[in-house]
Structure 1
C-alpha cells in the first residue's frame, strides 16, 4: 500500500539540528501504520549529515535517505518529489521542531477536505534574547507564519506558505513543474522564492489551498540568524529571487524586463531613504537599520534590472 503522505526533509550542513528533528519524526503519532514515509535528502552536506540520516534509515523502515550532489534547495526538493510514493508531499526542514500530533492533524484535514495544498503555523523559537535590530517586519525572514486560529480557504497571494510546513498533492506539484532551480537556498546563498512561485501558480489556477492552524511547527534558530550580517544577506540575496519571480510572472515588460518591479524598486528606494533620514534624526537605531536594508534590497533590484538581458 502506498503511503498517504511522504514527508520530504531536505538538509544541508546542519547535522546536529537534523538529528533532533528526525528523533521527533520517529516518535510522532501515526493513526495507522503505513500512512507515512519519511524521505531525507542530503544536499551535498560537508558535515556528518550522512551518518545521522543513514543511522535513522537503517533503524526505521519508513525512513529513506538520498544524496543530491547538485547544490541548491530546489534540486534537493525535486529529488524528494521524484522519490516520494505518497499521494501528498509534506515538506519540512532540518531546523523544524515537530509536535507529536503533526501528521495526525494533516491526515485528518486531508481526509475531511481533500485539498490540493494545505499548510499550518510556524513559530519562531527564541533561545536567547532577540537581537537589538529585530522588528516585527522581519518575521517572514525568520519563517514565522500565523494567519490566525481559524481554517481559511486561500484565494489571494498575500498569505503564502513556507517550506518548513506545507503539503501539496504530488500530481499537482509535478503538473506545476516542481521547484525552480534558479530559486531557493544554494549553499551559503540565502535566496528564497521557490515556494512563492508555486503558491502563486496554485492561487491563480484556483486550486484548493487551505490554511489550518492545528499542525504548527517551531523554527529552531541557528546562531548566525541572530546577527545583523545574516539579515542583511537575506535582504540582498532575496532581491535576486524577487527579480527572477518578477521576470517569470510580469504582465508588462520592457526589453524583457519587468516594468512594475523597476517602478516599485525606485519608489521604495526613495521612500526608504526618507524614512532612514527620519529614523536618524529620531536616533532610532533599529528603524534606521531596517530602512538601510530596504535601500540595499531595492538598489540591488534596480542593478539587476539594468544588467538583465
Structure 2
C-alpha cells in the first residue's frame, strides 16, 4: 500500500434524508485525521429528495480527504452497503449512518485498533442523543438498544452471539467478505420499510467463520434520534417486520401451517403483554408488547411469505 492509497474507507449510505445528512456531513470537518490516508465514500441509495443536489456541492468535503459519491439504484441499506464493498479502496471499510455525529477521535481510535490487532471486523460505542430534547416516559433504558445505543464495556475480543456490533458504527477488513459473503439484501432498511437485523446477522456469520472481531469503545458515534422514532408504533413495527422475515426464513420450503408450539408461543406472548399492561400501565409494558408483535409477524411470515 503506497502513501496515497487509503487505509480506511468511510462509507456513508443515505436515502432521502437530506436534512439530517447535511448535519452529518458538517460534523466530518471536526474529525481529527488518522495517521494514514482515508477516503469518504457516500452511497446515494436512490434518493429522490434534495440529497443529490446537496452531494453535488463540494463545500462539505473534509479538507485533504478524497471524496466520492456513488449512486445505487437498488433500494435497501444492504444493497447500498454491498455497493460500498465494490467501490471501496481502503484495506478497512468503516460504515456510518446519515443521522450520526462521530466523536473527533473516532477515526484515530479505529486506526490504532486496526494496526495493533489486525482484526477481521471491529465495532465501536454508540450513544443516543435526543435531537428534540424530549424523551418519552415509556422509553425505558432497556429499549435504547433498539435506537442504536451500544456499549460492551472495556476493549476486548467479541466472540459471543449476544455481543453484536451495530451497523451505525462498525468496520471490516474488506477482504473478509470474500470469505463470509455480502450483506443479506433481504434485511436492513428498505425505503420506508422498517426492517432491521442485517448487522446482527452478519456479526453471527463472522463468528461462524471464525473471524476475529474487536470491540473498540473509544471509537464513539452519537446517534441523533428524531421525533418520528419516538413513537411506540416504531418499536412495534420494527419487531413485527423482523418476526415476519424470520418466520418466512424459518419455514423455508416446509408446510405453511405453523406447528402447535408456535401457536402456543404466540398466545403466551399476547397474554403476557396484555397482563403487564393491565398491571403496570403503558409506560412499562412496551418491551413485552414488542415480543408479542414479533410473534405476530413470525406467524404471518410463516403462513404467507415465500421462504
TM-score (norm 2): 0.89
Query: 2:227, 2:14 → 1: CA distance?
Result: 17
1:143-292 alignment runs, 5 A limit:
143-148=148-153, 150-243=154-247, 247=250, 255-256=253-254, 265-266=262-263, 268-292=265-289
8 A Cα contact 1:133 1:290, kept in partner: no
Confirm or deny that 1:130 pairs with 2:135.
Answer: yes
Q: CA deviation at 1:50?
A: 1.2
CA gap of 1:278–1:9, structure 2 versus 1, over 3 A, is same
Find 2:27's aligned residue among 24, 29, 44. 24
Q: CA deviation at 1:181?
A: 1.2
Q: CA deviation at 1:42?
A: 0.8
Find 1:63's aligned residue among 60, 67, 71. 67
How many positions carry a matched residue from both structures?
A: 300
Q: CA deviation at 1:11?
A: 0.4
Unaligned runs of 5+ in 1: 248-252
Secondary structure of 1:124 counterpart = strand
Q: CA deviation at 1:170?
A: 0.4
Unaligned runs of 5+ in 2: none
Moved more, 18-27 or 40-49: 18-27
Find 1:293's aligned residue among 290, 294, 297. 290
- Bigger share in helix: 1
Provide the aligned C-alpha RMSD in A: 2.5
TM-score (norm 1): 0.88
CA gap of 1:15–1:287, structure 2 versus 1, over 3 A, is same
8 A Cα contact 1:193 1:241, kept in partner: no
Q: Which residue of 2 aligns with 1:250?
A: none
Secondary structure of 2:96 counterpart = strand
Query: 1:162, 1:94 → 2: CA distance?
Result: 14
